[in-house]
Amino acid sequence: MKLGMEYIAFAKEAIKNFFNTGNLIPSSQFLSTKMCEQVRRYSPVATPLIIEVGAGTGKITQQLLRYFNEAKFFVFEPNSSFYEILQKRVSQYRINGKVELINDCVERFAEENNLKSDVIVSSLPLLSFKKPVREKVLTALEKLMHDSTILVQYGYTPLTGKFLSKRFEIINKSFVPFNIPPAIIYVCKKRNSETQR
């Protein structure tokens, strides 16, 4: 899909349901690259099991596939229009690992599975969620983590960090100016897990 078409498709869905989408346009190349760099730097293993939540049209997914071509992925996107674009994008990659795309919210999967991932990459719009939804989603992410799992989450204001720090230990913060809007990336671990290597 051409970039302009992707932006129009994204904006259309965002206007329909801004609370679940959190932005009018997909993430920039700068943000997706920096997210991957943070995963590479802090992942507890070289070939991690990666859960991506809120994949949207796949801007971060495609970069993750380039960086971690051997990894195993579970990728969640509940919006069916985004999911269709995501499927097409992922199908264009030659992947040595395994990618499972799931057209659903992450909470249901976390309730029904005991899987623990090494890395969670999240674009979830935590600030737009109503409090009970946010708490449910954060509980789901926590359940999918073992003691060394890293959660890499971006947000547009320091309030995202405030929500995360209630549940997780923030081990790194970085600022990405070249994104609309500029973003902050948080790398988190479960509380009381092993201290930063």
Ligand X SMILES: C[S@@+](CC[C@H](N)C(=O)[O-])C[C@H]1O[C@@H](n2cnc3c(N)ncnc32)[C@H](O)[C@@H]1O
Q: Indicate the residue whose CB is closest to ligand X.
A: 56
Tell me how far, at minimum, the Cβ of 128 lies from ligand X, in Å. 9
Task: Compute the least distance from the CB of residue 151 to ligand X, in Å.
Answer: 14
State the DSSP string of 46-113: SS-EEEEE--TTSHHHHHHHHHTTTSEEEEE---HHHHHHHHHHHHTS--SSEEEEE-S-HHHHHHH-
**Euclidean distance between CA atoms 160 and 174, whole angstroms:** 13
C-beta closer to ligand X: residue 39 or 60: 60
Please state the closest distance from residue 154 (CB atom) to ligand X, in A.
8
* CA pair distance 135, 24, nearest whole angstrom: 24
Nearer to ligand X, 16 or 98 (CB): 16
**List of residues contacting ligand X (CB under 6 A):** 20-23, 26-27, 53-56, 59-60, 76-79, 82, 105-107, 123-125, 137
CB of 196: closest distance to ligand X in angstroms? 26
Q: Toward ligand X, which CB reaches closer, 107 or 193?
A: 107
Angle at 34 between CA 14 and CA 103, to 5 degrees: 40
